[in-house]
Every structure is written in structure tokens, then in C-alpha cells.
Structure 1
Amino acid sequence: MSDPPRWDGALLRGPVHGPLPILLLVMTTATGLVDAVSVLGLGRVFVANMTGNVVFLGFAVAGAPGFALAASLAALGGFLLGALAGGGLVSARGKRRGHLLRDAALIETVLLFVAVGLLAGVTGTPGSGLASAVAGLAAVALGLQNSTVRRLAVPDLTTTVLTMTLTGIAADVRAAGRPVVTRRVLAVVTMFVGALAGALLVLHTGLALALLPAPVLLAVVVVVLAVAVRRPAPWQ
């Protein structure tokens, strides 16, 4: 009888994906922060989870109170634009995974810092014109992220959607090894932590300060990758 799978730190430093898993978990936390700000402060709109956003768009079209049609449309359009840009970045940089994620995270960082600046002026009703513009801008960043992470193909770490991750935790609990289950659980936990932190910041500070940690986290990812890609490694 073989020994059960042993946790050996491969999540953090395995040869196949290198530092990518832990960096994607950091980006998952940032995603939770961004969606907390968008849902609670910009008119009940998701900028990362387009499944939820399409549902919210249906509610807005139906005239349900509290849902902003303009913000939902801006987020959907922005996400598609970001995904399109991400596809171009993948074509240009896709053969070098570290460089691809570094460049994508850098662009996201800039976009979200601009969004933070714009949010300093959001004082009216959620779903206003400026709030919708911020939702669209943030969605561009997350669409770019989604395209990039899709190309990296690190199992269970999409950074934006957890439906299949949760399914895998339950469906494969007996078959999957401990590192796999741990990775999936960490994806859920980091998204939850980001959303919780974002919600607390929205409720107790302001929208700009609530969003600020997201580009800061992405900037950390950029710095780590800028150093990591200097040394050739199989994961790249």
C-alpha cells in the first residue's frame, strides 16, 4: 500500500510552475478586493466574475431596484476589451510565462491605480457615470488577467472564478492528493479574504482606499516576477 501524498512545498516552488501558484493566489486576493468594491460601491456589478455580472445585467434590464444597467454594461464591455488585449499579449509573450504574467500584472497595476484615482471623485449614487467608468476600467484589468492566467494553465488557479474549484474540492476529495486539495482550498480562502477585507474597507473607509490594496498586491507580483525571470528556469 503506497503512502498518502505528502505536502512538500511544491505549491510554492515546484519545477513545473515555479512561483506562479503563490503569485496567482496573491492575484486571487486582489480579485476579491476589486469585486468587493465594485459590488458594494459601484452599483452591484462584478468586474471579475462575468457569470455573476451577466445575471446582474438581467436583473438591471428587468428593472430590479439597486442594479445599475450602465455599470453592468461597462463592466461586460471592459472585460471583453481586456480579454482581447490579453489575447494579443499572450500572442506576443506567451512563450515565456514569467514575462507574460509580469507584463500583464504591470498593466493591471497601472489600470487599477488609475481607477483608485477616479474613485476619489465617486461621491454620488452607485451606478453613476463616473462609477460606471471605474467599473469598466477595472473590468479591463480583470479581463486582461483572465486571458493571461488562462494561458499559464496552472491547475485550479483561475484567480477570478471558483465554481469548478469548489466542485473539484468536493468531487475529488478522495482521489486528489493533498497538494491538489490544498491548492484548491487556498484559492477559495484567498478570494474570501480579499472580499472580506474589501467589504470592511468599503464599509469603514472609502471606495478609493478600499481598492488601493489591490494594485499594491499586483505591484508586489510585478516586482517578484521582475526578479524571478532574470534566472532561466524550467517553469518559465
Structure 2
Amino acid sequence: MAERLPVADRWAVPALLFLTFSTGLVDAFCYLRLGRAFVGNMTGNVLLLGFSVAPGSGLSVAGPLTAMAAFAAGSLLGGRIGLAAGPDGLGGRRAGVAFAGEALVFAALAALVGAGLLATTGVPRSVLIAVLALCLGAQTSVVRLMGARDVTTTVITQSLAGFAAGSALGRGAEASQMRKAASVVTMLAGAAAGALLLRLTSAGVVGLAAVLVGCAAGCFLPAPPPAAAGRAAVPRQ
């Protein structure tokens, strides 16, 4: 099976890792500041909903349900972006524009939180969860349409399983294995950085995520259209 990316690996892989790190940051912000909800890790939300049925768990279902609904809407939006790309597939510029839009939304939310105009409690909390989950749903869908399977930016379970399975007896392709390992480590680093940075600033966590997503967009925007780039297939295990 082959991976088909709209730009060369030397641009695509760092960009996808920027997105992965930003997901760790944003999920740290949401889970630790907005009340036990994930906006990128939908598996976590499903588990939280299951845990909430236990008497005395203290877990709210509102946050996870809001995140899941918004993530699904964002995924639908990302799918529409893919359909609009036509038969040639999702090019680097179109992906770059999608990520640039996400970065602008993150930056706006960071500014509103930093200025005290958007609280992290009550109704504003639900708004933050919904908007962030919408963005990450769209991001996940766009990355999936790009054909990036080794660095999926929000789904680490598959990367970890693929790394472990591919590593058995040294059977995995080295480049593919390195990308999968980097994906797991990057998500971990992003979550840790977010948790630590939250001790100083909430807005700064979302702001840093905006910068990283903007860097990812910058890696894709200058790319030529898919037809011109040739979009050579990259073999993978």
C-alpha cells in the first residue's frame, strides 16, 4: 500500500508533526481547563462517557458529547473540502489554506481567552470545546484525505500499533517506523508541554497551537498543484 502526499516528505512530515504537537497542546488545555473533555482524541471521549455511568464518578457527559458532535461536523467540513478538490485529489495549497484557517481560529480563541472575553466556565466553555473540536475534526479529515497514515496528527493508537507490529523482527521499513515513533513522541511532548504551560497561561497554550498550525500551513501553501508535483507514491509497510 502506498502513501500519497501532496508535497515532498521533507515538507509534509515536519508539518504533520507540528499538527500533532498542537493537538497535544489543545487536548491538554481542554481536558485540564475545560473539565475532562478531549477535542482531538475521540476515543478518550467515548471512554469518559462510559466511565460517567458509574455512580459518584463526577464525570460530566456534556463536554464529551459536545466535542464529539463538533468533531463530526468538522470531519464533514473536511470531507467537503476534499470533494471540492476534484478528481486530482487534495493538493498542498488547498490543505495549506485549510490549516491556515484553523490557525486563525486558534489565534482568535487565544486572544479572546487572554483578554478575558471568553471564559473557561459555563456557556463559553462549551463554545471553546465546540470550536476547537470542529477545527480538529476538519484537520483530521483533511490529513486523512492527504493519505498520511504514518503521522495522523490526532489518532495515536494506530501509529503505536503500527510501530510495534512493524518493528517485530525488524520487518518494518525504517522511514515508516521513524515517522510512527515520532508521531507518538510528538503527541506526548505536546500534551506535557501543554500541561506545564497551563500553570502559567491558558491563552498561551492555544496561542502556541495556533503558531504551530500556522507553520504547518506554511509548509503546504507554497506547494505546486498535485498534477505538477507528480505526487509520487511513497512505499510503506
> What residue identity is the alignment partner of 2:38?
F
Q: TM-score, normalised by structure 1?
A: 0.84
Asked whether 1:213 is paired with 2:205, we answer no
Residue number among 17, 42, 45 corresponding to 1:50 in the alignment: 42
- Name the residue aligned to 1:186: 182
Q: Relative contact order (alpha carbons < 8 A, sep ≥ 6): 1 or 2 greater?
A: 2
2:79 and 2:7 mapped to 1: Cα distance?
26
> What residue identity is the alignment partner of 1:233?
A
Contact 1:16 1:234 in 2 (8 A): no
1:64 and 1:87 mapped to 2: Cα distance?
39
Per-residue deviation at 1:101? Answer: 1.5
Name the % identity: 36
1:64 and 1:150 mapped to 2: Cα distance?
38
Aligned length: 221
Contact 1:74 1:135 in 2 (8 A): yes
For residues 198-235 of structure 1, give each alpha carbon's deviation from its aligned partner in whole angstroms, at most 9, with x where no partner exists: 11011x21211122100111111222322233894223
Contact 1:36 1:195 in 2 (8 A): yes
**Large movers: runs of 4+ above 6 Å:** 13-16
Per-residue deviation at 1:62? Answer: 4.7
> What residue identity is the alignment partner of 2:166?
D
Residue number among 113, 116, 123 corresponding to 1:119 in the alignment: 113
1:136 and 1:56 mapped to 2: Cα distance?
17
Q: TM-score, normalised by structure 2?
A: 0.84
Per-residue deviation at 1:25? Answer: 1.1
> What residue identity is the alignment partner of 1:82?
G
- Name the residue aligned to 2:235: none
2:216 and 2:120 mapped to 1: Cα distance?
33
- Structure 1 residue matching 2:59: 3-state secondary structure: coil
Q: 1:71 to 1:15 in 2, by over 3 A?
A: closer
1:200 and 1:109 mapped to 2: Cα distance?
22
For structure 1, list consecutive stretches of 5 or more residues without a partner in the other structure. 1-12
Per-residue deviation at 1:78? Answer: 0.9
For structure 2, list consecutive stretches of 5 or more residues without a partner in the other structure. 233-237
Per-residue deviation at 1:38? Answer: 0.7
- Name the residue aligned to 2:67: 75
Contact 2:34 2:120 in 1 (8 A): no
> What residue identity is the alignment partner of 2:128?
V
Question: Any residues of structure 2 matched to 1:43-192 within 5 Å, and which?
Answer: 43-60=35-52, 62=54, 64-93=56-85, 95-120=89-114, 121=116, 128-173=122-167, 174-192=170-188
1:149 and 1:64 mapped to 2: Cα distance?
39
Per-residue deviation at 1:66? Answer: 4.7
Q: 1:99 to 1:199 in 2, by over 3 A?
A: same
Per-residue deviation at 1:147? Answer: 0.6
> What residue identity is the alignment partner of 1:107?
G
Contact 2:45 2:68 in 1 (8 A): yes
Alignment RMSD: 2.5
Contact 2:33 2:120 in 1 (8 A): no
Contact 2:20 2:183 in 1 (8 A): yes
For residues 156-185 of structure 1, give each alpha carbon's deviation from its aligned partner in whole angstroms, at most 9, with x where no partner exists: 111101112111121121211211111111
Per-residue deviation at 1:69? Answer: 2.4
Greater alpha carbon shift after TM alignment, 108-117 vs 35-44: 108-117
